[in-house]
Copies of this chain bind each other. A is one copy, B any other.
Amino acid sequence: MKRDSRLSGVLHVLLHMAQKPGPFTSETLAKAMDTNPVVIRRIMAGLRDLGYVRSEKGHGGGWTLACDLSKVTLRDVYIALGSPTLLAMGNRTEAPDCLVEQAVNAVLDQAFHDAEALLLARLGEVTLAMLSDDLRKRLGSRKHQGMSAHHG
């Protein structure tokens, strides 16, 4: 199944933004992500609504970080995206009349729920600040090679 990469994408954007003050236009960010400005605006909309970033129109406008990076976890970002489906598998039908289906659903639901809970817990353990620190370390260990964070 085709996998949803919005979380990966929006984290990429946020990390880019955390490296320097901004603001960043959707077009700039889109180029760094090799995608379309409208896609950037779409995945950022939820973050804006929750106050994690700010967007301004007109000359000199664009996107700015508006939160304490050490207070926002990847789970928060995931939720800001609208909590998209985590698992690629699901039950054929929910609340079926068929007892066979009920038995199957019961055991699968348990396994699915556990896996989702673990994934959300893991995402909840990592803040944007931690991610940004990790990036800075990666950048640092490449400095002596004269390379930058941006794409070549």
**With a CB–CB cut-off of 8 A, which chain B residues contact A105?**
8
Q: Which of chain B's residues has its CB closest to A1's CB?
A: B85
Tell which of A20-28, A46-54, A60-68, A113-121 binds the partner: A113-121
A90 to B5, CA, bound (A): 5
Contact A3 B90 (CB under 8 A): yes
Contact A111 B119 (CB under 8 A): yes
**With a CB–CB cut-off of 8 A, which chain B residues contact A2?**
1
**With a CB–CB cut-off of 8 A, which chain B residues contact A116?**
115
Q: How many copies altogether?
A: 2
Residue of A1, A2, A130 contacting most chain B CB atoms (<10 Å): A1
Q: Which of chain B's residues has its CB closest to A105's CB?
A: B8
A110-152 interface bits toward B, Cβ cutoff 8 Å, 1 = contact, 0 = none? 1110111011001100100011001100110010000101111
Contact A100 B152 (CB under 8 A): no
Assess A107 versus B89: contact at CB under 8 Å? Given A4-B1, A115-B115: no
8 contacts between A and B (CB under 8 A): A1-B3, A5-B90, A11-B104, A15-B104, A84-B88, A87-B88, A107-B134, A115-B119
